[in-house]
Structures are given as C-alpha cells and as structure tokens.
Structure 1
C-alpha cells in the first residue's frame, strides 16, 4: 500500500499546487432564476446577494442581458436573496431552500423606485418540490427530518422510507429482522454506491457502506434511485449521497444521552430464532460547531459512544416434528463498545473559493457475538475494527459561467474476527437440522481494506441556440483488500500431511431413529489457510450537456465510462475493462407542459456499469483461496451410533476410515468433493465484459400548489453480462473439469415498478411524504451474497457462486444450472422482491415546543423459496420448486416519535424525546426455515418487538 499512498499524496499535492483554488466537493445545490420588471421585460445588471447560516459570508451574482442569474455551489440550507438595481425598489426573498444537487428556481419582479425607497420583503417560501431540469429520481431528508423521524441513527436506515426500496427492515441476505442494506431497483445489497461529501465510501470487497458516519454530522441525505446524469456511476442500483455539516458564524452544539433497554421493550414473539434477553443500549453523544474566524473559517465536530450490554437467557432447542427438546443453549453475554469521532474544517479564501477538510475515526469491539443466535458459548466470537476516513473538498467559481470542482479522499479499514474460545485446536461443530453451533468458532478472520479517490470536474454555462449546462469530469480510484483466514480445528485433522492442514470443521444431523438421540456426523471439511491480497484501479470520465432550446424544455445528453484493472496478489492483471467496453450513454428530456412548473413530463434512458469488487480477483490468487476437501460420513448411524459411549463416538468421529466419498470408498484419497487450484482451477475469460443495466423511465409530475406535489412514474430495467464461474468438461469424453469466469447469458436480473408519490408541507411546521409502489424484481441471482438457506453458515457469492457449477451427468451438480441445462429453476422472484408497498413519513412541529414524527410502512410480503439439498456441496443450494414462488404474509411497521423542548433565553434548550418502534407490537414472520428438512416452513424470525428509546439533550 505504501507506494500507492505516496503516489496518491504526490498527485494530490501537484494538483493543489497547479489548480490553486480550483477544488470543490459535490455537497451543494444552486439557485437559478430570472428578474423582470412589471411589464415582464428582462432586467440585466441586477445584483443578487445570497446569505444563509449555512454559507460562509455572502454570495453575489448579476443578471445577464436576458435577466437570468445563477448562484452555484451553495451549501444546502435556507437562504435570503436580496435583489438590487439602481432606480428600482430593493427586493428581498426570504426562506429559499437549497437542496443537494438541485437547481432551486427563484423568479423576481422589481418595481421602479420613484419616490418610495423602502425595501420590499417577501416570504417567498420557495421549496423545490419538483425538479424541472432533470429526470433523475431522488428524495431528500434534511437534518430537521433526521432529528424527528425515528431511525437507528444511520443513513443506511433512513433509505427505508423511499418508494421501491426493500431489504432494510428485513435482511434478505441472512434472514434477520433488521440491519439490511437497501435494494434499489432490484439490484440487492451490492448494487449501490455510497457517497459522503462527494466521494465514494463503498467497501471495495463487500460493497457495504464503509466506515460509519457519525449521525449528528449529517446535514442532508440525497437518495438517488435513478441517476441518469453521467456524473452518477459505478452502481447498478442507486446512489446514496450524504453531505455533512460545516458549523456556522455562531457557536452551537448539543450534548445528549440516548437510552434503550429490555425494560422498555415487549417480549420477542415465539420463533425458532427468538431469544429471551436483557439488554441496555446507551449512546452518549455531543457535537459543536462555530467560527474559528467569523465569515472565514468554520469548524464542526461530533463524537458518539455506543455502549451495548446484552444477556441472553438459556434456550431449549426443540425438534419441530415431535416438539421434543433436543439441545440446550447456555446463557451468555454480548458487549458492544464503539467510538465515532468526526471533524470538519471549512475555509473561505474569498467569496468564490472555499476548501473543506473532514475526517472520521471509528473503532469498535463487539464481544460475545452469536449469543442471540444458536451458538453455544464455546462457538461465539468477537469482532474488532479500526477505521479512518479523510476528505479534502475545494470549490471554486472561476467566472460567472464556469465552476471547477476537485475532491480527494482516502479510507483505511481493519476488521478482525476471532473466536472467544481462544484455542485453535477444537473444530467448529454444526447441526444442520437445528442450526446449533458448538465446540469452537470457525476461524480467525483478518481483513484490511483501503480506498483512494481523486476527482476533477468542471461546469460551464453557455448561451448558444438556447442555454447549455456543460459538465465534464475525470477521476482516478484505487482500492485493495487483503484477507487472511486461519481455520480452527487443528487438533482434529484426520489426514495430516495431505496439504489441507489449515483447519477442520464437522457437520451433524439429528438421529433418524429419534431426534433426542445423539446427533450423527454427516460431513467433514479440512481446509487450507487463506491468504488473499487483491487490488483494483481505474479511470472514470463523463461529459454531459443539459440543453434548453426553449424555456420549458430540457434535454440532457451525456456519456460515461469507467476503466478497471483487477490484479491478484502477485500484481498480475486478471481482467481489464477498457473505456470502449464501458461506454454508458444517457439521454433524458423534461418538458414543462404548461410552462409554469406545474405539469412536468419526463423520459429517460441510461446504460449503467459497475466496477467489480476485489472479491472477484481472489480466485486468481497464486494460492487458490477457499480450498477444502469435504468427506461424507461412512460410519455407524441410528441406534448403533446412539448406543456407543461418548468416548467411542469421539473415537469413531476422528477415525479417518469412517469418512469417504459417499460411494463406498473411504480414506484420505476419497473425498466427496475437493475445491482447490489443482482440482478445479479457474480461468478468466480474456473477453470478459463488465456487467451492465439498461434502464428506461417515464414520469409525470403535477405541482398541485406551491406546497403539494404528486408524481407517477414507470421504471423498467434489465441487467445483463453478469459474471459467473461456469463448469465445463475440459475435453469431450473427459472427466476433467474446466472452470471459467465469464459473462453467462443465463445469469440475469429484470425489474419493473410503477410508483405514485404525494408529498408536501401544508404549513412551515408540517411536512409529509406518501408513496405507493408496485414492483417486481426477478432474476437467477440476487445482487448480494446468498446463503444456502437462512440457517446455513455459507452460501453463493455475487460474482462467483454455485450457479453454473452443473456439469452434465455429474451426480453432485443437479439443480445448479449449467451451459447445457439452463437456469434449472434459478430464475424467479428475488428474495428482496415485494409486489406492493405503501410508505408514509411526516412530522409536525406543534405548539408549546412539541414535535411529533411518524413513519408507516406496509408491504404485501417478501418472496421466498424452498431450498433443495445439493449432494456435492452438502448444503441447500437448489430450487426444486423454482425461485421465489412463495410469499411471506403482508407486514406493516409503525414507528413514532414525540419530543418536548424547553427553551431558556435566546439559545439554550433542554429536550426530552421518545422514539417508539413497532408501535402496535406487530409480530408477523419475516423469515422461515427454507431448507428442505423437517423444519421447512417453520417461522425462523419475526418482527422486532415494540421498544421505546429515550433521548435527553441540552442544546446551546
């Protein structure tokens, strides 16, 4: 990493030296408009001055010969506009709202002064409810709403309020009742890009949200579900863009303590994964911002501490058929200790040049992981993280028509996972029927992930046959991930010296004679240690022209490409995507039908590409990763096994002659399956292409009044050229396998939705957002890691998985898809697909310092599948009934918040806030046992029960 970081630092220094003040962060919006006189004639030469508590100093603009003006790169917030022209009465607009990435339109009319010189003050109350310039579909949640609407204090959780977004309240990856990443436009957890202050923070390996951002530091969140402008890229789903706070000319801050406990929660409803637990969840936090030098240098800083302590009661595990107790899970404790620190400095060099530096430091220790799962104390684990994120953002208005932007950043993440037993000798044992883990944790897992980005872009406004907003940008990114896994079970290696000496694990099933008898062994794995180091880098370029041939018509035409070079641990290029392979054309049109911003028709088409994760390169490491041998049990079963003493069973379990290929052959040379570089090497197709999505949009927006708007839209998209490892025979008539990472036609995703929105702000103190969505997400593979059933510990990857591993006539490949056999039931409704959704959020700042917020979500139920058993993998990877042909029951969530503020003097306040989650204590099932076992169809997890969180705060 050292050479890369030094090169990054040198490039940053050189660019700063030569560009001087031409640096900017995409954390802003704009105000545009026109000034006329009372006869509707344009007024050139009008001076417009914008001021706001969000803006350092003031910003000026002057109208051109057509009376038009533009105030670009304004921080989000509420502004006052002053219009001044000699001979005319001064005019002031108050309460003009600027949102992230939006042009707020302000039209003014000036009166001749004659003898009256007094200024005219208008409470304009301009809020951009519709965007008549672009066809991008985005919603906005500002800091006021963030403080009001109940959430878990993460920008990930806030995305759940948007129409069509699924997978947040229900984790479609692991079947739990929360903490899922959003699926946008059917692309799953891996489909999104996450931006903080204009640069991506997406994890290069897992595609998650990266280093957590302190919630108190968020100024506004822009959730872009359809970003047709080419400046948005490297995502097949959506883009979540977060801008952070910058302080102000006056000191202000908050000290608060947030608290939640089991005493303030209902008991969890009965389900296989339900647990009786006692817990306390405390979050003390503080933030302060203000001037270091007024109108010149501001700061904002925030710190949050997480202290979570949980005690889980002992749990009896029963057989679902007989209801007999077959196992016991001892009680245990879980401790979560986290620290999150954020700092931002903003410097105005002059009114047209502002630089900001920001950083996040985060660390955590989460001990006793698995206490609320079916893990016995010796199989629980601890997660440790240390993370750092740095940003430099600079914005410059070069001239009245040209803006230059520059941004650079780096992220470092160290994540470790280790067993609480602290002994690598014992192996992890798993009961496939009950889902219980015991004897040890699986491994020691160490991860390092780094990312560096540099982006330079320029915007130029041109009048030529109409108006043009020309924008172009070029960027460079570099990311790497390194991972080492040391498996436990060193003392239980049955075949030492066979090169698979990196650790072991064992799987069991309930005794077929009686489930209360001793569980019978079924599979034995021996591993090699994993040591992976991969990196990826590339260039991004985009250019776009938003052309307005007439005032009521805007046409955006643009193109983007993203190159990518993916390398293994030996710096060998495994795949390279060139510019011509990722050309992404975009075209949109918006038509103000009645030329009054009340009836807007939109149409859009775009091709979207994404870069691949570093995980795809791991299969090209010089030492094949994830190498193992799997053996099937050939020893005693039933009564014979049960009647043995514990010592005899232990001896039989560790007798290598009791394990083999399941066809009568036993011993080290007869594994049931082997995955390794020798047995099934993977080859990268030299003609590999980046996956892409084609998307089409039609929308109509109706501005009912200045405070209400309704929208209806139709979205259709198709994702193709998805990457998979596909199995072939090396030669006709040969039994030697050939595995190729390629673009496979059978692997695909399709999506459509019809959405209706109605939102507004009836008064200054009331705001609401209501939406309905009818959608369908289908495909062969979700855009995320997919477990082999929710009770499984492993599954199928996003880029390389078990789909496509079918070799014709191979006994272990049935149902896994293959070149000659098609998708074999894999195509269908994806696990995050929901047919119908209704969502509502709103808040009311009532009299007497009371604020009420609420959110309501109803959906018709997620799709789910029966998972069939795959002999070769020893787990549930097939879809005997077809994917997604079952549907969970409809479900609703109702959350609310109530806050009372007490003010003292001009600037001090005390606040008490109650957040109530699942207000009616609904306990609908969110996950079922989907493996085709005796447990199939049993409720695995239900909604999280009603809980209350209290926050006490002091503001100044």
Structure 2
C-alpha cells in the first residue's frame, strides 16, 4: 500500500507515469538519451528520448512493475528494475550515465521511488498484494475503513456488513459529493449522489485508490474519490480461484451480562458467509490482443440485534427476553432465533484489449453486478414483514442488460500515442443502474403499516420503493502533452472534456397508502392521540445533462514543481412528464395528477481553480514540502432543483385518527380531516385539490462550494520507509433548502415539555424538561428552493502517516488523524424552526450526519481522532502473518425527547438533550490477524489461509435507541460482531 501526503491527487485514472532526467557523472545533462520502459502490463514497450535539458516523461502507464533502460552511445547502459507504478503515481527515475569504451550495462534494483515529488494532495493506494494479504472482509468499503481519516458508519467484522454500501465521512465533507470510478470512468450514482451504482467482486481489482483531498482538475467535487483499476490479460496465460468460508461454528460470544441488561440479546453474529470465484486472462495473440474475465459470488447471512424469526417459538423467546434479559435460553438457542439478513452478490467481468496498429490500444469491457437481499433494513424496530426484498428491476421496465437486470457497466476506449510527448485517450461508457426495494411479500401491498411514534417500531407492512431506473451515458476525452525546456521549465499539460447524461425513474408506494401511527396505546379512544398518515403514490422522471472542460499544467524547474489548473462544469436538469393515481382514502385532497414536466430554469456554470506547489529540498526526492489550494463544486443530481416543482413526488398529509371499530386499520370515516397535523411534498394545504405546481426555484440559486487549503511535508527516512504530515483546512457553504414564503423563525413561540413517568417507563432514561418551538400561524405550503443564508461548515485537521514498503520481509502502514468539523448557523435566517437551534443547530457543534437508507440507521458518524495500522511479516518456511488494527473515538449518542404533536401543521419534534457529540458511545478498537502459507506445485501455487477477526472479542456498543420518552429508551441496537475465524484457499497459476 502507498500513502501519499502531498501535482494534486490524480483521480479517475487507471495509470501512472515515469519521468526524470539523464545526466553524466559531472551532472551535465544528456539530451538524446533513449529511454525504454517495458513491463508485463504493456503489450509493447514505450520508447522516448530525453530533451535538450535531459528530461523525459512517459505518461499513461498501466499500473504495474517496470524496467526502465537508459541508452546513449559512448555511455554505459543503465537499467532500473522493479519500478512500481500505482494509480496516479509519478515515479521519478533519474540516471547517472558513465562514459565507457565498451558496451556495458549497469543494473539497479531496490530504487523504486516511495515519494511522489509532484503530489500535493492526500491519497492512498491499495495494491493487489495489500488487497489480498492483509486481513479484511474482502469488500471495497472495508478498504475505505483502512484509509487515513475516513470514518465509517459501521464495523464490518469478517463480512457481517458486506453486501450493503457503508456510509462514511472524511474532513467534514457531505457524502453526496463522493465519487466512484472504474478504469478511469466516473460511474457515480447520480440519483443517489455519492453512492456506487453497483457492487464488486474483490478479485476483479488490481488496485484501489482513495483520494481524500487535493484532487486535481479531473475531479469535480471535494468529496472522497474512489478509483478502481480492474485486472487485465497479459502475454502470459494466468489465473486464480478462491474459496472462503466463515461460519457460526467458529465464532465466539461477546455479549456479557451488562449488555444483556441493555437488551443486546445474542448480539450481531455471523451465520454463514461463502465467497468464491475465479479470474483468468492471457493472450489472444501475443503482442496484439489479450483477454481477461472473472466470476465472483458472495453469499452472506448475518444476524442483527433484536431481529427475530417469526417462528412461534422464537417469538416466545423474544417476549421472554424483553421481560427478563436473563431468561434461561442458551446463546445457541437465542442465535438460532435471529432472523437472517441475507445478501447474494453475483459479479461477472469480461475485458478484451487489442493493439490494431503501432502506438494504439483499444479496450472493450463489460461488468454485470447482481444483488438480491431478503430483508434489507432489518433491525429491532423493523421486523421481517416491514423489511425490503431487494433485486433487479424486471425486464418489462426496459431492455435487459442495458436498463434492467443485473446492473451492467459497458465501456469502450481508445488510446493513441502520437509521439514520445503527446498521448490521447477517448472513452465511452454506459451504466444501467437499476433495482427494486419491494414489499417483503406481494400480499402486503394493500396492508397499512403501523408505526409507534415514540419507539419508532414498525409493524404489519411497509412500502415499495422502486423500480429505480438510473441509466447513464458518458464520453471522456483527455490528452497529455510534454513540453520540455520551455518558459519557466518543463511543462506537462493535461486537457480533458467530459459529457454525461443521466435519466432517473423512480416509484414509491406505501402499503394501503396509509400509515396507522400510534403512541403505544389504544387508538379506539381520543386519549391514544393516534394519527393517520396518508400518502399519494410517487412516480417521477428526471433528466440530467453535464459538461466539463478542464486544463492543467505541471511546471517543473529544478527543485520546484507548480501545478496550475482550472475546471469548468455545466450542469442542468429537468422534471419529465408523469402521472400518479389519487389516494384511495382521500381522493378529494390527494387527487390524481398528470404532470407535463418542468424545467427549473437554472443551469449551473462553475469555475474551479486548482493550485499546488512542491519543493524538493535536496533535489533527490527524499524530502518534499507541498501546499495546495482548491475550490470544488457539488455534483448535481436529477431532480435536485426541479424536484420542488414536481407534484407527482411523494405527498404526505397527517390527520387525527380515532379507530372507531378498534380494528387498527384506518378508514376514511375515522379521520378528522378538519385538523391537518403535518404535511410534506409539493402540496398546498390552502388548495388541497390543486394539481399544479405551487413552488418555485430561485433563479439565483448557487451550487454548493468547498474551499480547501493543504500544507504538508513528506520525508523518506530509508529506501523503503517514509513519513508524512499534513494540515488541512476546509470551508463548506452555499447549502440549499426549501424556504417557506412569508414564514420565518420569528413565527414560532417557545414551549416546554416534561415527559410524565408513564411516558418514560425505562429506568435510567433521561426525561428532562426540554424547550421546543411551535408555530403561531399555520405553516404555509408554498416554498422556494434557494440557498441558506448565514449557514456554513468549517474543518481543520491534521494527518500523520508512516509507510514501509515490503522489504527485508516486512511492510507496514499507519496513520493518525485529528479532526474538527464544525457546523455554523450565524443568525436566525439560517433556520426556520427554532427547535433546531435549541440543540440540533447549536453553532460550533460537531458535524455528524445520520446514516439511513443503506441497511443501517441510528448511527451518527463523527470521530475527532482515528488511529489505523496494518502490516505483514514473511516468516520462515513460506509462512506469512499479517494484521490490521484500528482505534477511534466512539459514535455520538444524541439522546432526545419526542415532543407532543405541535399546532399549526408542525407535527412532532425530536429535541436533543445535549448538543451533538457531547455524549458518545465508548471508543472502538479492533485487531485482526491472518496466517497463510504458500505451496508451489510446478506452475501452480496453492495458498491456504486463516483469518481471525476481532481477536480480542471486543463488544463495543455502536448504537442505542436514543428517544428517552419511549419504552425502548437506551436499548442496544448495534454492537460489534464477535470474534470469528475465516478459512480460505487460493489457487494461482
């Protein structure tokens, strides 16, 4: 693994470069020296000639190991072996040639650079050795967890959380600005900005790079940039296969008596995980064409705290444990009653690379990623009947393999080397992202869900979300040109253009179009304070179009390197026509709507400057200082602006409900339509039957912005050991919101609420008196989407890294990150409901977004410090031992009080007792170990392995139910999975 602290961090790349200079023993430069770069990743060697200043550059090299040969008549030939090029890494290789009367060759080994002297950003590259040899759950999101200064929203012990995307935070950045790239193509899900559109076979990856700051002009946003490079064929036929097994028979029990008292039950154990597949590649015609393909399958079955099977015996055990957490049931009996959170991932890959003529390379590739899940979002508050069945959209919604079916990724690219100074790449790609989150059973479509407002426990049914159809098409054109010995020094130019088009179709239907909401008591009397939440279906269609143009110049003169770049982004989107049916219970207030479509009238044109400066103190690449400044802008999603104009999105209206016949089902004659308690969506309570658009978009609304400054130092202590330090400052602003017209924070009045003992039944719950705010006039329905005034976020932090490349039988990487991400609300204009400012919007509190919609909730991601380390040691007799260790600050635990339903359509409010981050769960740490031993049988290599995850059997609580005036207050809803052993075997040939 390579960690670079400190040219700007290159993103969405599949390649690196080798550059440097040739000189004689006196230091005089040697123009005309022939440089030949050869390696298994190249079909044909690359040859360049040094300039009049003795400099050279070989860009766009596929990742891998290279031999660099320097040749000049009258001098000894110098050969550098094993020069390692990773994603975006610029390896500086300088040669000193000696005069010679005879043909001689000097071979140099062990001199591969460890510091990128042109890097001003912060990035981490995980090469194939790290991906395969360090103990992990074999999941790209786990590698994000290993990256310096990235805080995850979950802990994946041996695969317990695999098969579902993790959320993560780095440097206070919002997740919506994260970027995902495969083989140089940005494939980010534009309808769930910041997310990946698919899942991956871990063995398809040759390398993974994560950029956390200082991104160059090829990245639009300031979020985390994740870039994968997949494997390719070579002139040598090769392949591998693997099988890994993790089973509950080989795991410990980490639930002690204290956790049992907190209703942790039997914890969150693994039930069974199988991971198997193969990959193979080789020549179609040596030196002309290669192929590569793979298949991978992950079958993941895990238990979740409090999520029980519907079996009668298991429901008896659940009830008994709720009454007495020490009820006499064995751990095996309790675990056997946990419902299965099952995920199945199937991944197919194919790639062909062809050299049709000299200096040209064409690539075709296809990936299909299929995911199915039996109980998405299962938890102690979401029993099995309220979970989702996840799968691909059926073919009736579009062409299979293009719009529907397993998510496809199609790519074609062409690279041409015009000369030893000029190279160009053209890429086209299509991603057919699609899925459905369906009712757990088809019969639940017309069944109304129940919901306890205090405990947040669902029952009976839930909703169908989807199908989601999110196809995108893109074209990328980039060119690199090297101009040596020009004004100010050598210039390396990069210019690029990107076009991307994205469509987004989505549907949503709540069971029975209604939620029967209660507060834990009978709804047959007015004292129950029950509510009927009515929904009209949602069917939306949006289109997004983006264009980007960027240019960058890397200027090198002696010890100084300057990177100057600028990027232009144009983004626009519109809502397309659609129709939704009326609400069956309230057709008068929620009628059928036919929408003709709408354009927000806003097109964002953003200019992003980038500047980086490096100083090589000794001109030997061993001590390098760096500084950079960048402005980034957000990525627009379909419907981001026009969504407020769309009347066919989800509409919710809440009314008092008295269950007259005591059947716990909402009927129209049981609803008090005269009292609107709450509403949401593009709906005007003053004109409830109006089917047009009542909202607007501010024509002057601006894109969200990130400004960043980084300063740091890298020092290579020995040939294989380097340390680094960086300070990072950021400011995030120009956030958007939906501002209600003629309605401000001044239209609220303070109230206090003290829950009664009956409302606070749990011993030890904090039922303090809280202040909340209630509107004095009815909340209006007309809104305008605009920027939030006086609202921003700042970040200041430091990062320290150590990296030791594999040599002398060992390697290691470690990092320490110190963070302070602070939210600011500088005036009453920055919020509407003052309940927010009483606790949630306290100026100066820590930024801690809550996870949701990705298989987990009730987690607030924030850590003011994180320590991470990993390493490997090669023991005698071909044994290898590797380890991973992490320790970080615990998650925030924002204890809260749910208020009564407020007047004037305001609904309930959740009021924090202390500001975010004041109270936290315990600090978390984990230690994993791996042991393997390779056996060689001719050309075949067999590697059995044993991984032990959570060696200490830690049981850190990750989440508790936070509402204090509820019967499940402070109940444990998430803990670290117990120690477990994984057995594996890998075959390579």
TM-score bracket relative to the smaller structure: 0.7 to 0.9
1:345 aligns with 2:352: yes
CA-CA distance at 1:330 after TM superposition: 7.4
Q: Give the whole-Å Cα distance in 2 for the aligned partners of 1:396 and 1:924.
A: 54
* Alpha-carbon contact 1:274-1:941 (below 8 Å) kept: no
CA-CA distance at 1:673 after TM superposition: 1.6
| Residue-by-residue CA offset, 1:314-362 (whole Å, 9 max, x unaligned) | 352689999799xx99764454333100111112234522121211112
| Alignment of structure 1 residues 510-549 onto 2, 5 Å | 510-511=520-521, 522-548=530-556
Aligned residue in 2 for 1:953: 986
1:505 aligns with 2:497: no
Root mean square deviation of aligned Cα? 3.3
Aligned residue in 1 for 2:486: 464
1:400 aligns with 2:420: yes
Aligned residue in 1 for 2:600: 574
CA-CA distance at 1:416 after TM superposition: 0.7
Q: How has the CA–CA distance of structure 1 residues 275 and 739 changed in structure 2, closer, same or farther, with 3 Å as cutoff? A: farther
| Alignment of structure 1 residues 351-390 onto 2, 5 Å | 351-369=358-376, 373-385=380-392, 386-390=406-410
Q: How has the CA–CA distance of structure 1 residues 101 and 519 changed in structure 2, closer, same or farther, with 3 Å as cutoff? A: farther
Q: Give the whole-Å Cα distance in 2 for the aligned partners of 1:507 and 1:78.
A: 62
For 2:710, what is the secondary structure of its paired residue?
strand
| Residue-by-residue CA offset, 1:378-424 (whole Å, 9 max, x unaligned) | 33331102200111222222122222122221100221121223222
CA-CA distance at 1:185 after TM superposition: 1.8
Q: How has the CA–CA distance of structure 1 residues 382 and 25 changed in structure 2, closer, same or farther, with 3 Å as cutoff? A: closer
For 1:156, what is the secondary structure of its paired residue?
helix
Of the three residues 411, 414, 418, the one matched with 2:438 is 418
Aligned residue in 2 for 1:860: 889
1:47 aligns with 2:34: yes
Of the three residues 882, 889, 895, the one matched with 2:915 is 882
For 1:616, what is the secondary structure of its paired residue?
coil
Q: How has the CA–CA distance of structure 1 residues 672 and 319 changed in structure 2, closer, same or farther, with 3 Å as cutoff? A: farther
Q: Give the whole-Å Cα distance in 1 for the aligned partners of 2:601 and 2:874.
A: 55
Aligned residue in 2 for 1:602: 626
| Residue-by-residue CA offset, 1:250-269 (whole Å, 9 max, x unaligned) | 11111211111111222353
Q: Give the whole-Å Cα distance in 2 for the aligned partners of 1:330 and 1:626.
A: 36
1:894 aligns with 2:927: yes
Aligned residue in 2 for 1:156: 141
1:929 aligns with 2:961: yes
CA-CA distance at 1:852 after TM superposition: 2.0
Q: Give the whole-Å Cα distance in 2 for the aligned partners of 1:885 and 1:915.
A: 37
Larger mean Cα displacement after TM superposition, 451-460 or 264-273: 264-273
| Residue-by-residue CA offset, 1:685-736 (whole Å, 9 max, x unaligned) | 1111100011111101112122111111100101000111122327999854
Aligned residue in 2 for 1:61: 48
* Alpha-carbon contact 1:476-1:539 (below 8 Å) kept: yes
Aligned residue in 2 for 1:141: 126
Q: Give the whole-Å Cα distance in 2 for the aligned partners of 1:518 and 1:909.
A: 73
| Alignment of structure 1 residues 666-677 onto 2, 5 Å | 667-677=672-682
* Alpha-carbon contact 2:928-2:947 (below 8 Å) kept: yes
Q: Give the whole-Å Cα distance in 1 for the aligned partners of 2:527 and 2:430.
A: 50
Q: Give the whole-Å Cα distance in 2 for the aligned partners of 1:99 and 1:593.
A: 24
CA-CA distance at 1:76 after TM superposition: 0.7
Of the three residues 198, 208, 216, the one matched with 1:229 is 216
| Alignment of structure 1 residues 700-739 onto 2, 5 Å | 700-729=713-742, 736-739=780-783
Aligned residue in 1 for 2:559: 552
CA-CA distance at 1:272 after TM superposition: 4.5
Q: Give the whole-Å Cα distance in 2 for the aligned partners of 1:274 and 1:319.
A: 7
TM-score by length of 2: 0.81
Aligned residue in 1 for 2:470: 449
Aligned residue in 2 for 1:644: none
Q: How has the CA–CA distance of structure 1 residues 432 and 918 changed in structure 2, closer, same or farther, with 3 Å as cutoff? A: farther
| Alignment of structure 1 residues 116-515 onto 2, 5 Å | 117-126=103-112, 128-170=113-155, 179-207=165-193, 208-233=195-220, 235-267=221-253, 269=255, 270=259, 272=263, 275=266, 279-309=271-301, 314=314, 316=318, 332-369=339-376, 373-385=380-392, 386-423=406-443, 424-462=445-483, 463-465=485-487, 466-489=489-512, 503-511=513-521
1:616 aligns with 2:624: no
* Alpha-carbon contact 1:899-1:914 (below 8 Å) kept: yes
Task: Give the total of aligned pairs.
Answer: 858
CA-CA distance at 1:867 after TM superposition: 3.5
Q: Give the whole-Å Cα distance in 2 for the aligned partners of 1:597 and 1:695.
A: 25
* Alpha-carbon contact 2:213-2:222 (below 8 Å) kept: no
Q: Give the whole-Å Cα distance in 2 for the aligned partners of 1:946 and 1:848.
A: 28
* Alpha-carbon contact 2:575-2:639 (below 8 Å) kept: no
TM-score by length of 1: 0.84
Q: How has the CA–CA distance of structure 1 residues 454 and 274 changed in structure 2, closer, same or farther, with 3 Å as cutoff? A: farther
Q: How has the CA–CA distance of structure 1 residues 167 and 308 changed in structure 2, closer, same or farther, with 3 Å as cutoff? A: closer
Q: Give the whole-Å Cα distance in 1 for the aligned partners of 2:659 and 2:48.
A: 84
Q: Give the whole-Å Cα distance in 2 for the aligned partners of 1:438 and 1:163.
A: 41
Larger mean Cα displacement after TM superposition, 64-73 or 688-697: 64-73
Q: How has the CA–CA distance of structure 1 residues 267 and 76 changed in structure 2, closer, same or farther, with 3 Å as cutoff? A: same
Q: How has the CA–CA distance of structure 1 residues 519 and 246 changed in structure 2, closer, same or farther, with 3 Å as cutoff? A: farther
| Residue-by-residue CA offset, 1:844-903 (whole Å, 9 max, x unaligned) | 233323222211111122334234436356565444533332222211111222111111
Larger mean Cα displacement after TM superposition, 677-686 or 602-611: 677-686
CA-CA distance at 1:142 after TM superposition: 0.4
Q: Give the whole-Å Cα distance in 1 for the aligned partners of 2:210 and 2:30.
A: 37
| Alignment of structure 1 residues 749-764 onto 2, 5 Å | 749-761=793-805, 763=807
Q: Give the whole-Å Cα distance in 1 for the aligned partners of 2:879 and 2:325.
A: 51
Q: Give the whole-Å Cα distance in 2 for the aligned partners of 1:539 and 1:567.
A: 15
Q: Which runs of 5+ in 2 are unaligned?
A: 1-10, 328-333, 393-405, 578-596, 686-693, 748-775, 849-859
Q: How has the CA–CA distance of structure 1 residues 954 and 228 changed in structure 2, closer, same or farther, with 3 Å as cutoff? A: closer
For 2:662, what is the secondary structure of its paired residue?
helix
* Alpha-carbon contact 2:514-2:666 (below 8 Å) kept: no
Q: How has the CA–CA distance of structure 1 residues 914 and 943 changed in structure 2, closer, same or farther, with 3 Å as cutoff? A: same
CA-CA distance at 1:933 after TM superposition: 2.3
Q: Which runs of 5+ in 1 are unaligned?
A: 1-23, 490-502, 637-647, 660-666, 782-802, 808-812
CA-CA distance at 1:618 after TM superposition: 6.2
* Alpha-carbon contact 2:642-2:697 (below 8 Å) kept: no
Aligned residue in 2 for 1:496: none
Q: How has the CA–CA distance of structure 1 residues 446 and 542 changed in structure 2, closer, same or farther, with 3 Å as cutoff? A: same
For 2:94, what is the secondary structure of its paired residue?
strand
Q: Give the whole-Å Cα distance in 2 for the aligned partners of 1:162 and 1:268.
A: 27
| Residue-by-residue CA offset, 1:154-208 (whole Å, 9 max, x unaligned) | 222211112211125459xxx9999523322211432311111111111111121
Aligned residue in 1 for 2:570: 563
CA-CA distance at 1:305 after TM superposition: 1.6
Q: How has the CA–CA distance of structure 1 residues 607 and 824 changed in structure 2, closer, same or farther, with 3 Å as cutoff? A: same
Q: Give the whole-Å Cα distance in 2 for the aligned partners of 1:377 and 1:428.
A: 12
CA-CA distance at 1:591 after TM superposition: 0.8
Q: Give the whole-Å Cα distance in 2 for the aligned partners of 1:473 and 1:737.
A: 44
CA-CA distance at 1:62 after TM superposition: 1.4
| Residue-by-residue CA offset, 1:430-461 (whole Å, 9 max, x unaligned) | 23444433212333532111111111122222
* Alpha-carbon contact 2:126-2:207 (below 8 Å) kept: yes
* Alpha-carbon contact 1:805-1:816 (below 8 Å) kept: no
